[in-house]
Homo-oligomer: A and B are copies of this chain.
Amino acid sequence: MSTQQRIEFALKATLQFACEAPCPPRLRYAMQHAVFPGGARVRPRLCLAVAAACGDENPDLADGAAAAIELLHCASLVHDDLPCFDDADERRGVPSVHKAFGEPIAVLAGDALIVAAFQTIGLCLPMAPLHGARILTAVAAAVGGPSGIVAGQAWESEDQVVLSEYHRAKTGSLFSAATVSGAEAAGYESEPWRRLGDLVGEAYQIADDICDMVADPATRGKPSKRDSALGRPNAAQELGVHGAVRRLRALLAEATEAVPDCPGADALRAHIERSALPYLPKELLVAA
């Protein structure tokens, strides 16, 4: 089974469990709408790439962690799109969850996806209590307070923003959870893998900032120039588009250097080099 198939299969199994009868139909449809069809599945692919590089000793645990991380990412998108945040009408080229199902169901679908993520890890615990518990606490730290995604989003409501903390929390944290969980699922000591996740996360944030500035909304599946419209920091605005592309390439190079020793280090480095670039408009890659 390909990595992509593993991810979709794990996500389907999780949602089937969370949405089985007697789940209220609109909640079920909204959760499915939030997760399928997906985006690039960048975070779970990174998680499984790390697990594979470390020998993938417990693929079911790796799949569970990857699915949980993607569900939490999807949940954060559903809540971020709400009228009180980005008020986004579209996501991945289709109506956002609150546009399709109304605001109450969007709030609840986000909540239910968060719960489903932890339930997914919980169901893996009997097969690997120690590593499963570490994955659970790493993933929870990447999402909640004081420095997970939710905290990152909350910095947008502060007058005084610590910019590095904002980016690390809002984007980097779930990438670090992906590398840590992938290593942990393969039975590796996971702390050395955190920095790799931080670097890939920062690279991905810059790629997203560049896309926000230059990409065509139709190919991107969501509106562009949202950062400047909402007064949010954007690396491509700060560094210029080509400066941001150079920074992105430098971060990816640093990330490949940061891969800890493991049997599949070369394949993982190749994965990382490819990881953030495909989201950029092609003409930028040629020019940079």
Chain A residues proximal to chain B, CB less than 8 Å: 18-28, 31, 75, 79, 82, 84-85, 101-105, 107-108, 110-112, 114-116, 118-119, 122-123, 125-126, 129-130, 132-133, 136-137, 140-141, 143-148, 150-151, 153-158, 162, 165
A115 to chain B, nearest CB (A): 3
A109 to chain B, nearest CB (A): 8
| Copy total for this chain | 2
Task: Report how far A102 CA is from B18 CA in the complex, Å.
Answer: 30
Decide: A118 near B140, CB < 8 A? Known: A27-B150, A145-B19, A165-B22. Answer: yes
Contact in complex: B136, A125 (CB < 8 Å): yes
The 7 A-B pairs with the shortest beta carbon distances in the complex, nearest first, are A115-B144, A23-B146, A129-B129, A125-B133, A27-B154, A119-B140, A84-B103
A-B contact pairs, 8 of them (CB 8 A): A22-B147, A22-B165, A27-B145, A79-B111, A84-B102, A107-B107, A111-B144, A125-B136
A190 to chain B, nearest CB (A): 15
Contact in complex: A145, B103 (CB < 8 Å): no
Task: Report how far A24 CA is from B144 CA in the complex, Å.
Answer: 11
Task: Report how far A3 CA is from B154 CA in the complex, Å.
Answer: 34
Task: Report how far A84 CA is from B106 CA in the complex, Å.
Answer: 10
Task: Report B-chain residues with C-beta under 8 Å of the C-beta of A18.
Answer: 144-146
Task: Report B-chain residues with C-beta under 8 Å of the C-beta of A84.
Answer: 102-104, 107
Contact in complex: B19, A153 (CB < 8 Å): no
Task: Report how far A153 CA is from B28 CA in the complex, Å.
Answer: 13
